[in-house]
Amino acid sequence: MTWDNAFAWSILPELLGGLWITVQITLAGTAIAMVVGLAVAVIRFSRIPVVSKLFGFYVQFVRGTPLLVQAYIAFFVLPDYGLRFSALATGIVVIGLNYSAYTAEVYRAGISDVPTGQWEAATALSLPMARTWVRIILPQAVRTVVPMLGNYLVQMFKDSAVLFAITVYELMGHALAIGSSSYRYLEPLTIAGALFLLVSYPSSQLIRTLERRLAPSR
């Protein structure tokens, strides 16, 4: 049993359909990760008693546990408590929250890189806290961390393959479905790998360029 070109061509459309789902999961998941991560970072930075510590633990816990098990819990445990969502929606929320713990750390690094003088100036001008964050701190903090967020976007794209385990039909799910129905795994799995590479490699090159472009000029 070796490579069969005709078979490979015949399954390509289905796999491309799977890739499209993977891309959608990644984009939606990234949106969640960016927003939740930012909220978590700001809350942790604000030193609210108990709450900040709790979110610190959230970050540590999510980063210390496997995405697969988190997905299992969301998919198998939550329905027992009346929370039932589609596999796709569950997958997107799980991967988004999973990455929010990582993006929170990225934002935190960006926020702590903002010079103290900026905080002091905002205080001297008696700007309200909300405006200090939105107009002074975050614009400076986010700019420098864009490339790192981009790296996590690429990482999430590849990690989303895990979600086939909770029956999300993305690229990997389609590849395995083709494999089990045709008893040929070589072509679908190889093409799936190639498609992942085809998207992720140029993306990370692009991010590398962006990194150089956005690097703060010293």
Partner 1 sequence: MSSDFVSYATPLLLQGLLVTLLVTVLGTILAVVTAFAAGLGRLSQHRFVRWPAAVFVEVFRGTSLVVQMFWFFFALPAFGIQLEPLAAAVLALGLNEGAYAAEIVRGSISSRTAGQNEACIALGMGRALRMRRILIPQSIPAMLPPFGNVMVDLLKNTSLVSLVTVSDLAFRAGFVRNQLGHTTEVFLIILVIYFVLSQVIAFFTKWLERRFALDRQSRSVTKAAGMQPVGAGGT
Q: Which residues contribute to the site for partner 1 (CB under 8 A)?
A: 1-3, 61, 63-70, 72-73, 76-77, 80, 158-159, 161-162, 164-165, 172, 175-176, 179, 184-186, 189-190, 192-194, 196-197, 200-201, 204
Query: For residues 67 and 191, what is the distance between their CA atoms, to the nearest angstrom?
Result: 24
The nearest distance, CB 89 to partner 1, in angstroms, is: 19
Nearer to partner 1, 137 or 150 (CB): 150
**What is the rounded radius of gyration, in angstroms, for the C-alpha atoms of the chain?**
21
Query: For residues 99 and 110, what is the distance between their CA atoms, to the nearest angstrom?
Result: 17
Q: Report in angstroms the alpha-carbon separations of 103 from 55, 120, 169.
A: 13, 26, 26
The nearest distance, CB 185 to partner 1, in angstroms, is: 4
Nearer to partner 1, 62 or 122 (CB): 62
Nearer to partner 1, 15 or 141 (CB): 15
Query: For residues 85 and 73, what is the distance between their CA atoms, to the nearest angstrom?
Result: 13
Nearer to partner 1, 9 or 201 (CB): 201
Q: Helix 51-63 and helix 87-113: axis angle, to 10°?
A: 120
The nearest distance, CB 73 to partner 1, in angstroms, is: 5
Q: Which of 30, 29, 55, 27 is nearest to 148 (CA)?
A: 30
Q: Report in angstroms the alpha-carbon separations of 198 from 35, 101, 166, 189.
A: 28, 27, 25, 14
The nearest distance, CB 122 to partner 1, in angstroms, is: 33
The nearest distance, CB 37 to partner 1, in angstroms, is: 17
Nearer to partner 1, 61 or 119 (CB): 61
